[in-house]
Amino acid sequence: MTSRRKFILQCSAVASVAAVPAVSGLIFSRSLADVSLNEIGFADFTRLIGTHFEVCHDQSTVQLELAEASAGSAAGEVGHEEFSLIFRGRGDQPLGQMCYPFEHGKIGRFVMFIVPVGVPDATTGSRSYQAIFNRPVRSTTPSTRIYG
């Protein structure tokens, strides 16, 4: 019998894939592989801090920089990883709260849910977005797609 947790995870994966616009393949590079977000862990993201991700939005791409990757509570549930990612992007290209197709040259294409956080920076006008993860720890080693 499928547990509630497994059912929710499976439904989330299906919903994420369904949220990808059909046009995203026309905008993104065809040379990168599609990757499940479940294959990308906290350690993988920390190696990419300061790098840029392309995000498909309204038949164009928006560039977001991974500004922070923060580990969650050490007192979290055993067998789960909790972490948060903060991305920054231009103020004139706002993104709403939803799932977006992301692309990065070192890990490929994947879909991720982000939420706008805070207010635009008064000096630069940049906007911040957050993705929060609380999921079972993956049983595989860190992605070999990143740094070889």
Q: Which domain holds residue 65?
A: 4-136
Q: Express each pLDDT in 55-81 by its tens digit.
A: 998 888 999 999 999 998 765 567 788
Task: Answer yes or no: is 146 within a domain.
Answer: no
Q: Would you say residue 147 lies in a domain?
A: no
Flag whether 121 is in a domain: yes
> Percent of the chain scored above 70 by pLDDT?
69
Structural domain includes residue 36: yes
Give the C-alpha separation, 116 to 94, whole Å.
Answer: 8
Please indicate, yes or no, if residue 145 is contained in any of the structural domains: no
**If you search the block for the tokens 């791409």, which residue do you land on?**
61
Between strands 80-89 and 127-136, the pairing is antiparallel
Q: Into how many domains does the chain fold?
A: 1
Contacts of 101 (CB under 8 A, 6+ apart): 20, 21, 24, 28, 55, 56, 109, 110, 111
Residue 61 lies in a domain: yes
- Quick check: is 20 in a domain? yes
In a domain, 141, yes or no: no
pTM for the model: 0.73
